[in-house]
Amino acid sequence: MLIFINSLVHKKYLLEREKLSSFECGFDPLRTPRNPFSLKFYLIAIIFLIFDIEITLILPIPPSILISPLHRLLLISSYFTLILLGGLFYEWKEGALNWVI
């Protein structure tokens, strides 16, 4: 009887093997580790880092209105925005934002 129960539990475990495994860094843990890296995951990670750094640089601008002159603050923020937009248009022109590979 115990052997029969064990075989039933074992089959259930094989069916839920994919649910119990972790999915990290764009790699499928159930496949061989020699598969190529997912380029889509890499692009999403890089874009996340860019936006994360961008937010940390933009957030101090509104509180600094009280400290620095308004014309200097507008000049610095417009330069920053132009640099970001220039990078975005360059990536768009090069085709780096095409998600269909």
> Helix, strand or coil for residue 88?
helix
Specify the length of the chain in residues: 101
Per-domain residue ranges for the chain?
Answer: 40-96
Q: What is the pLDDT along the chain (101 residues), one digit of tens a residue?
A: 888 887 777 665 555 656 666 666 656 666 666 666 667 777 778 888 888 888 888 888 888 888 889 888 889 889 988 998 898 888 888 877 776 65
Measured CA to CA, the distance from residue 80 to residue 55 in angstroms comes to 12
pLDDT digits (tens, 9 = 90+) for 13-34: 555 656 666 666 656 666 666 6
Measured CA to CA, the distance from residue 72 to residue 13 in angstroms comes to 64
| Residues 77, 61 contacting (CB under 8 angstroms) | yes
- Taking the CA atoms of the chain, what radius of gyration do you get in angstroms? 25
Among all chains, which residue has been given the structure tokens 């209105």? 65
